[in-house]
Amino acid sequence: MTFDTLGLSEKVLAAVEAAGYKEPTAIQTGAIPQVLERRDILGIAQTGTGKTASFTLPMLTLLEKGRARARMPRTLILEPTRELAAQVEENFARYGINHKLNIALLIGGVSFSEQDKKLDRGTDVLIATPGRLLDHFERGKLLLQGVEILVIDEADRMLDMGFIPDIERICKLIPFTRQTLFFSATMPPEIQRLTEAFLQNPARIEVAPTSSTAENVTLLLKGTPSKDFEKRAVLRELLENAEDLQNAIVFCNRKRDVTTLFRSLERHEFNVGTLHGDMDQRTRMMMLDNFRKGNIKLLVASDVAARGLDIPEVSHVFNYDVPINAEDYVHRIGRTGRAGRSGVAYTLVTSEDQKYLQAIEALINKKLEWIGDPIDFEAATKERKERRKTGKPAAKNAKSSNDNDADQAKPSTRRRSQSKPRDTAPKANVVEEKTEAVTTPAPVSEISQGSGGKKARNDREEEPAFSQGVHIPAFLLREPRPKKAS
Ligand code: AMP
């Protein structure tokens, strides 16, 4: 199969050739001719399948006829995050080099007046996050009656992020004669319902089940105690000893842990950045750009923030937590082993993760390999049951293989109070301050002193002694900075 047979225009085919694509991917082969025939599409495909080009290429072809009118965009693409919206814009710029189309991006973090100016000029392609689009609409700066093609991308992510009511509202503001292209990696019932309400006789194209993992990625498990500081120490050990580590993404399940882990790795002088949903647009873009260029070697991220980002050549993935959704595991490890390169994905596992691990192994139909001692889930479960019965820790001989009974034995109030100082830290400011430190030399008063330095910090006393003074490979370290004058 070649691109020539799909019905795309000459201008688009020339851009595809310039992009170096030889063959269309499965979603492109399935979707492009149907979009060109003006059919609605239900594309069940995840990121990495070439899904973006499957709608941008035929849209560019269709947009060659007709002209944009002021404040009445001709097409609208809804994306759950600013990064994804920015990536779709990049795609339009790349594939649309032979077109003179006006493309506008409506996302948070960009001034309204700048965006209004673009809309006034007439927009062929409007790419937006749902909230920002509605803000513009409510200010009367945008008319949606002219939209001929509506794209709803990453619908399941929209659901996770609570955007479905906004999507429903937007769908109702656009004439029903429009063509709707709808993409989702998974089809939970809420998404199914949405497709039934807003798609008309769609062509359904389903590709690459989300259970497939690349053959060239080595999948490893590492048992760890549950306490945060101990998990961080285990992670550092993995980072320090991983072979051929060029760059890596470290995934956490919780936003709060992303910030805490990022700060901890930074204090341990790793060359690290972070990406999570609360960061402002400029900081996220700067972070991602630095990671792409190799200025940052480690990126601590949450699933939502990392979903869909086109980050090339990640040699390793570290799952700081076992993902609660088995499919997130597949998405996470899909960041490595791209284009036939080899990759390694480590997952830290505590004695409480058994059911999540089982779900992953069932999904990918593979038993994952442990490095070091596997967790003895049976012993840990027995111990938990005993503790529930007696209210006391189990006898010593019932210890789990990872020695984490001390953690489990603690009353939950104590654990909560231990983590309190970090929870109450002013998160947004801290993230700003730390992320800027990645590219800007820190003032002398902020310079990190390394793991042995004297620092008054929230969780300093939690850091175990054995993590001090370990050797960290030079490429994982920050650029050397002058030490504080004594
Ligand atoms: P997507 O699934 O849209 O995020 O695309 C994933 C990656 O595949 C992007 O880096 C695209 O540039 C690339 N890509 C898209 N279509 C093709 C193709 N037909 N051949 C090779 N690479 C492609």
DSSP string, 327-362: HHHHHHHTTBSGGG--EEEEEEE-TT-HHHHHHHHH
Looking at residues 124-140, what average pLDDT do you find? 94
Residue 26: partners with Cβ closer than 8 Å, 6 or more residues away: 49, 50, 207, 208
CB 331 less than 6 A from any atom of ligand 1? no
Check residue 108 and give its pLDDT: 85
More confident residue, 232 or 437: 232
Examine domains 3-206 and 217-390 and report if their fold is the same. Answer: yes
Strands (E), 57-190: 75-78, 103-106, 125-128, 149-152, 179-184
CA distances in angstroms from 417 to 14, 364, 374, 420, 422, listed in the order given: 61, 38, 30, 5, 10
Ligand 1: which of 21, 32, 47, 83 to mutate, judged by most atoms within 8 Å of the beta carbon?
21
Check residue 427 and give its pLDDT: 30
Check residue 34 and give its pLDDT: 97
Check residue 341 and give its pLDDT: 72
More confident residue, 364 or 456: 364
Distance in Å, CA 53 to ligand 1 centroid: 7
For the ranges 9-13, 208-212, 482-486, the one whose mean pLDDT is highest: 9-13
More confident residue, 13 or 482: 13
What whole-number distance in Å separates Cα of residue 133 and Cα of residue 242? 44
Which atom, in ligand 1's list, is nearest to the CA of 49? 2
Place of tokens 């594309």: 43
- Between 129-133, 318-322, 453-457, the lowest mean confidence (pLDDT) is in 453-457
Whether the per-residue pLDDT at 394 is higher than 80: the answer is no
More confident residue, 364 or 375: 375
Check residue 292 and give its pLDDT: 86
Give the fold, CATH level 3, of 217-390: Rossmann fold (3.40.50)
Distance in Å, CA 251 to ligand 1 centroid: 23
For 152-173, the pLDDT digits (tens) are 999 988 988 889 999 999 999 9
Distance in Å, CA 50 to ligand 1 centroid: 4
Nearest CA to ligand 1 atom 15: 50
Query: pTM of the predicted model, to two decimals?
Result: 0.57
Q: Which CATH superfamily groups domain 3-206?
A: P-loop containing nucleotide triphosphate hydrolases (3.40.50.300)
Please choose, from the candidates 481, 422, 466, the residue with its C-alpha nearest in 3D space to the C-alpha of residue 271: 481
Give the CA diameter of the chain.
77
CB 287 within 8 A of CB 275: yes
What whole-number distance in Å separates Cα of residue 431 and Cα of residue 420? 18
Whether the per-residue pLDDT at 479 is higher than 50: the answer is yes
Helix (H/G/I), strand (E/B), else coil: 223: strand
Looking at residues 31-46, what average pLDDT do you find? 95
Check residue 271 and give its pLDDT: 95
Distance in Å, CA 31 to ligand 1 centroid: 14
Place of tokens 């004669």: 177
Whether the per-residue pLDDT at 37 is higher than 80: the answer is yes
Looking at residues 74-103, what average pLDDT do you find? 94
Ligand 1: which of 16, 23, 52, 83 to mutate, judged by most atoms within 8 Å of the beta carbon?
52
More confident residue, 36 or 82: 36
CB 230 within 8 A of CB 224: yes
What whole-number distance in Å separates Cα of residue 146 and Cα of residue 175? 8
Whether the per-residue pLDDT at 392 is higher than 80: the answer is no
Place of tokens 């809309």: 119
For 269-316, the pLDDT digits (tens) are 999 999 877 777 678 778 888 998 899 999 999 876 666 565 656 899
Which atom, in ligand 1's list, is nearest to the CA of 45? 2
CB 334 less than 6 A from any atom of ligand 1? no
CA distances in angstroms from 166 to 131, 149, 162, listed in the order given: 7, 18, 8
More confident residue, 418 or 42: 42
For 313-339, the pLDDT digits (tens) are 689 999 999 998 888 898 888 888 766
Ligand 1: which of 2, 6, 23, 25 to mutate, judged by most atoms within 8 Å of the beta carbon?
25
Amino acid in the structure at residue 422: R
Nearest CA to ligand 1 atom 18: 21
DSSP 8-state symbol, 338:
G
Nearest CA to ligand 1 atom 22: 21
Please choose, from the candidates 206, 162, 212, the residue with its C-alpha nearest in 3D space to the C-alpha of residue 185: 206
Rg of the chain on CA atoms, in Å: 25
Check residue 459 and give its pLDDT: 31
Check residue 474 and give its pLDDT: 62
Domain locations along the chain: 3-206, 217-390, 419-477
Output the six-digit token pair for 206: 């389903």
Distance in Å, CA 49 to ligand 1 centroid: 6
What whole-number distance in Å separates Cα of residue 209 and Cα of residue 211? 5
What whole-number distance in Å separates Cα of residue 276 and Cα of residue 252? 10
Which atom, in ligand 1's list, is nearest to the CA of 21? 20
Looking at residues 177-182, what average pLDDT do you find? 97
Helix axes 189-198, 164-173, angle to 10 degrees: 0
Each residue of 325-350: b (16+ CB within 10 Å) or e?
bbbbbbbbbbbbbbeeeebbbbbbbb
Looking at residues 124-152, what average pLDDT do you find? 95
Average pLDDT, the chain: 79
